[in-house]
Amino acid sequence: MTVPGPRASDEERAAQSERLRKVWENPRGWRYWTSVNNTQVGLWYASTAFIFLLFAGALALIMRAQLAWPDSDLVSADFYNQLFTLHGTVMMFLFAVPIFEAVAIFLLPPMIGARELPFPRLGAFGFWSFFLGGIFVCGSIFFDAAPSSGWFMYPPLATDEKLSGIGADIWLLGLSFIEVASIAAAVELIVGIMKCRAPGMRINLMPLFAWYLLIVAGMILFAFPPLIAGDILFEMQRMFDWPFFDPARGGDPLLWQHLFWIFGHPEVYIIFLPAIALLAMIVPTFSRRPIVGYSWIVLAAVGTGFLSFGLWVHHMFATGLPQISLAFFSAASEAVAIPTAVQIFVFIATMLAGRVILSTPMLFGAGGIAIFVIGGLTGVMVAIAPFDWQAHDTYFVVAHLHYVLIGGMLFPVAAGIYYYYPLIDAKRLSDTLGRIAFWLMFVGFNVTFFPMHLTGLLGMPRRVFTYPADLGWNFLNLVSSVGAYVFAFGVLIVVWDVLRPKHREPRAEQNPWNAGTLEWISEPEENWGVRSVPFVSSRYPLWEQPTLAREISEGRWYLPDAKEGRREGLVTSVLDARPEQVLRVGGTSKVTIVSAFSLGAVFIALTFKWWIAGAIAAFTCFCAILYWLWTGTAEIPEKPEKDVGVGLALPLYASGPSSVGWWAMFITMVGDSTAFASLIFGYFFYWTIHEDFTASSAGPGMMWPLVSAALFVFAWLATLAARHFNALERTAFVRAALIMALALTAVASAAGIAGPWLHAMNPTAHVYPAIVWVLVCWTVVHAAVGAAMIAYCLARSLAGRLTKTHDMDLRNVALYWHFLAITALITFFVIGLFPEAL
């Protein structure tokens, strides 16, 4: 059993606190915005997401005002199209997903007893990307240029530049940029949960919130990349007329639907699971007992995570796919009800087994679950294809999705606000206002959305800007509109409760709800997260380790000091959280903002086809990231080891699979490979829909693709050779191998392009040359990144910062190259050999 260290003298402890405070403190003045601390970034993230929520809610209110009466002309048809498109887009991409990232960044470190997440600058970069992309997308409506083709942007409407205008480009590029932020958050969270838990926090002791977030972050890696691949195809069609979705030239709009919904359905669970995760923290606290069925929650989270990927076609039941295919997806859509029900039964069981305190957070939680269950039941109805054919594209679906999302997400988030607010500024929200808000929201919600089931069954299609008076929809629509305003009033009360001045109120207790998990020891006044990193030996440490909170605040556990003036945290092992390394994380920096804004400028310039500005922005972004990497990563410490307290000394440097950087590379590349797999799916999709896939046009031939594949394998081997020689300390050989790898990459890329180029494949003529070119471009762009990485390692070696023991850069680059080699082999074998096999 690990025991805490002795109590230091009062002066010593005060000096330690002072040093820690100084290391973790925020910059003042305008520089405050360069902070990368998880508490600040989490708060900014959440506040921005809430502002977007209110904005999208206001759009919804305009829509309900328009629909309150038949034949209304409050807004024009085109403006109405912009309203519903932006409402859906903002709610999904700028509120529902980011709010989970925000809550995770804010709560996860204290919950797992860590000071920070492993890549704080990456978190800040993600926030600024989201901030800029969000403003860009939302702002478009003030210029009458918002996207107007619906939040899932179906071609051929959305690919038609005349009908969709610049709005579709804003949607595609603005959101691609935000998807980058989501993937950054996923990397940060997976590595944080797997490698940065407090010592002793084995996976059977992890807070359930962390389990859910781990699954959700994993889902993001497999769900967002298909959409990015779809965005690439979509934008290539809009910008350069490559006919991916144009049936006249062999394309097919259905491919977009597949790629969109492979993202879109898991997205629903990416939104739902973190909200349920909040309830998994709240329910035990107010039931005054540990959760009943911890393992069952893990079953539910993992099971939902996997099954949610087998549902996408249920959004496409009406597209004429073979019914045998529909049946598979129908079956999976029914099956996902099992794990979803399990988690709800676990909550009910916990409440039955404990003594429930019906507090405001519990009220929101219980109300949310009631609403969600109704949405789940209508979900089982629409999962049955014949019923769906009747309800498809009607208000029944609108009712269903709002019951699921608002019940499964917005209400639990409101519960989370009331529950966690004391962690933000040490005050409590008003119980009275909370209860009034809850009942207004609960009643208002049901009055709005329940009648929509009926309007839908009466045949009212979604997305119509008005309707004639004689169809029997008038009364139901009026009721919905009234309900919407009641609901909005409830939301405003929550907003008021959060914003109202509270400086006259007394400081709330440290742990006002008497909860059992670690986040409740973090003090809102301090920026260091935890005073010392504890050793955890139970699921509810504050309940089961009664002296722990005091020991932590007395600095008797790990890393109670910051003698070297660096922000430090612990890296621990995946299964048993054995301490492995001291991780020095990046501090306050402007480079995150510069990188995010220059990347944003690239996307904005592309939207308006300002090529030169785009190139300048891309170059700026490249330089900023290079500076960031060179100055802020793979730093060589001044000593190999450091005493972390409690009689333990840990290394300050790690490379390979035991380092967090290696994990981040691995996880990023898994996501990247998913996008690549989606493009390959596109290739074979076109093969299935055509009698003659190549449309009798020339292919890239066999020779050049195979030559390119072979050269890429040699380049990969040269990179591995560099890693091998580095381990033997043969510096000259390392550099020679790196130069060799660079040269081979250049030749391999040229050979890859030679195939389609020399056979004069014209990507605008037909979809076959277009998809071949896209695959080749994908590989060549990745090769360029791979070459930049090799050049970077060469520069590190010349600067004397790549040695046998300090080889993190080279090992991460080798890992990248494993993925690149696989990408190149698949690309060139597919485009070179598959047409020959036909």
Partner 1 sequence: MRLLPREIETFWTLFTGPAIWAGHFLICYASAAIFCAKPALLGMEFNSLRLGIAFVTVVALVAIALSAFLAWRQWGFGAHDPPHDDPTRHDRLLFQGFATLLLAGLSFVAVLMTALPVIFVSECLR
Q: Which DSSP symbol is given to 762?
A: -
Binder among 225, 303, 422, 701 for partner 1 (CB under 8 A):
303
Residue 597 to residue 621: CA distance in whole angstroms: 8
Q: Which stretch binds partner 1 (CB under 8 A): 37-45, 274-282, 319-327, 548-556?
A: 319-327
Task: Enumerate the β-bridge partners of residue 642.
Answer: 650
Of the candidate residues 10, 295, 499, 647, the single one contacting partner 1 (CB under 8 A) = 295
Q: In this chain, which of 4, 88, 200, 699 binds partner 1, going by CB under 8 A? A: 200
Q: Show the 3-state SS of 474-539.
A: HHHHHHHHHHHHHHHHHHHHHHHHHHCCCCCCCCCCCCCCCCCCHHHHCCCCCCCCCCCECCCCCC
Is residue 461 close enough to count as binding partner 1 by CB under 8 A? Answer: no
CA distances from 288 to 69, 295, 537 (A): 49, 19, 19
Residue 264 to residue 223: CA distance in whole angstroms = 8
> Among all chains, which residue has been given the structure tokens 């838990």?
197
Rank residues 333 and 726 by Cβ distance to partner 1 and give the closer one.
333
Instruction: Write the CB contacts of 30 (distance below 8 Å, at least 6 apart in sequence).
Output: none
Q: Which two tokens stand for residue 58?
A: 């206001």
Candidates 150-158, 303-311, 431-439, 806-814: pick the segment binding partner 1 (CB under 8 A).
Answer: 303-311
Q: Is 310 in the site for partner 1 (CB under 8 A)?
A: yes
CA 461 remoteness from chain centre: 32
* Position 688 contacts partner 1 (CB under 8 A): yes
Q: Single out the residue of 254, 255, 298, 738 in contact with partner 1 (rule: CB under 8 A).
A: 298
Among 26, 474, 511, 537, binds partner 1 (CB under 8 A): 537
Supply the minimum distance, in Å, between the C-beta of residue 479 and partner 1. Answer: 38
Nearer to partner 1, 110 or 303 (CB): 303
Q: Is 257 in the site for partner 1 (CB under 8 A)?
A: no
CB 726 within 8 A of CB 810: yes
| Positions 153 through 172 that interact with partner 1 (CB under 8 A) | none
Among 202, 435, 502, 584, binds partner 1 (CB under 8 A): 202
- Alpha carbon separation from 612 to 177, 593, 618, 777 (Å, rounded): 19, 22, 10, 21
Identify which range of 201-209, 451-459, 501-509, 743-751 contacts partner 1 by CB under 8 A. Answer: 201-209
User: Is 373 within 8 Å of 343 (Cβ atoms)?
Assistant: no
Please, which residue, 47 or 323, has the CB nearer to partner 1?
A: 323
Q: What distance, in Å, lies between the first and last C-alpha atoms of the chain?
A: 66
Give percent helix, percent strand, percent coil of the chain, each to the nearest 5: 70, 5, 25
Smallest CA-to-CA distance from 412 within 223, 576, 282 is with: 282
| Shortest distance in whole angstroms from residue 717 CB to partner 1 | 28
Residues 327/386, Cβ–Cβ less than 8 Å: no
Q: Does 799 bind partner 1 (CB under 8 A)?
A: no
The phi-psi region of residue 165 (left if phi > 0; otherwise alpha if psi is between -120 and 50; otherwise beta) is left
In the complex with partner 1, which residue's Cβ is closer, 536 or 650? 536
Of 313 and 447, the one with the shorter C-beta distance to partner 1 is 313
Q: Name the minimum Å distance from CB 308 to partner 1.
A: 11
Nearer to partner 1, 414 or 669 (CB): 669
The nearest distance, CB 120 to partner 1, in angstroms, is 25
Q: Is 341 in the site for partner 1 (CB under 8 A)?
A: no
CA distance 150 to 152: 5
Shortest distance in whole angstroms from residue 202 CB to partner 1: 4
**389, 394, 396, 397 alpha-carbon torsion, rounded to 10°:** 80
- Per DSSP, the residues of 151-168 read TTT-TTTTT-HHHHTTHH
Shortest distance, CB of residue 692 to partner 1, whole angstroms?
Answer: 12
Cβ neighbours around 544 below 10 Å, total: 13
Cα–Cα nearest to 572, from 194, 160, 107, 293: 194
**Nearest to partner 1 of 545, 726 (CB atom):** 545
Q: Does 467 bind partner 1 (CB under 8 A)?
A: no
What letter represents residue 131's amino acid?
Answer: F
- From the list 93-101, 123-131, 171-179, 316-324, the region that binds partner 1 by CB under 8 A is 316-324
User: Does 536 contact partner 1 by CB under 8 A?
Assistant: yes
Which stretch in 63-71, 194-202, 453-461, 780-788 sits in contact with partner 1 by CB under 8 A? 194-202
User: What is the pattern of x (binds partner 1, CB under 8 A) and - over residues 487-526?
Assistant: ----------------------------------------
Would you count residue 294 as binding partner 1 (CB under 8 A)?
yes
Instruction: Report the residue number, 57 or 264, with the smaller CB distance to partner 1.
Output: 264
Minimum CB distance to partner 1, residue 354 (Å): 14
Alpha carbon 701 to its chain's center: 40
Q: How many residues does the chain have?
A: 838
Please name the residues in contact with 433: beta carbons below 8 A apart, sequence gap of 6 or more.
493, 494, 496, 497
Q: What are the C-alpha distances in Å from 503 to residues 417, 499, 516?
A: 19, 11, 28
**338 binds partner 1 per the rule CB under 8 A:** yes
- How many C-beta atoms lie closer than 10 Å to residue 659's C-beta? 23
> Which residue from 47, 76, 323, 514 is in contact with partner 1, where contact means CB under 8 A?
323
In angstroms, what is the minimal distance from the CB of 330 to partner 1?
Answer: 8
Q: Residue 196 CB: number of other CB atoms within 10 A?
A: 26
- Quick note: the x/- pattern for partner 1 over 559-578, rule CB under 8 A, is ---------------xxx--
C-alpha span between 821 and 803 (Å, rounded): 25
Least distance to partner 1, CB of residue 722, Å: 30
- Binding status of residue 210 toward partner 1 by CB under 8 A: no
Count the residues of the shown chain that bind partner 1, applying the rule CB under 8 A. Answer: 45
Q: Which of 47, 204, 432, 805 binds partner 1 (CB under 8 A)?
A: 204
Q: Which of 97, 172, 332, 715 binds partner 1 (CB under 8 A)?
A: 332
* Residue 362 main-chain phi, psi, to 5 deg: -65, -35
Binding of partner 1 at residue 324 (CB under 8 A)?
Answer: yes
Rounded least distance, CB 574 to partner 1, Å: 5
Nearer to partner 1 (CB atom), residue 523 or residue 576 = 576
Q: Residue 496: which residues within 8 A CB-CB, separation 6 or more? A: 433
Count CA atoms within 13 Å of residue 48 on its CB side.
24
Q: Out of 31, 47, 240, 325, name the contact with partner 1 by CB under 8 A.
A: 325
Shortest Cβ distance from residue 194 to partner 1 (Å)? 8
Binding mask of the shown chain, residues 576 to 615, with x at each position contacting partner 1 by CB under 8 A: x---------------------------------------
Peptide bond connecting 156 to the previous residue in cis, omega within 30 degrees of 0: yes
Asked whether position 288 contacts partner 1 by CB under 8 A, the answer is: no
**Is the sign of the CA dihedral 692, 693, 698, 700 positive or negative?**
negative
Work out which of 115, 195, 462, 539 binds partner 1, going by CB under 8 A.
Answer: 539
Please say which residue, 273 or 741, places its beta carbon nearer to partner 1.
273
Indicate the residue type of 493: I
Q: Answer yes or no whether residue 247 interacts with partner 1 by CB under 8 A.
A: no
Residue with Cβ nearer partner 1 (204 or 631): 204
Residue 144 near residue 234 (C-beta atoms within 8 A)? no
Q: What angle do CA 265, 267, 271 make, to 5 degrees?
A: 130
Footprint of partner 1 (CB under 8 A): 194, 200, 202-205, 290, 293-296, 298-299, 302-303, 305-307, 309-310, 320-325, 327-332, 334-335, 338-339, 536-539, 574-576, 688-689
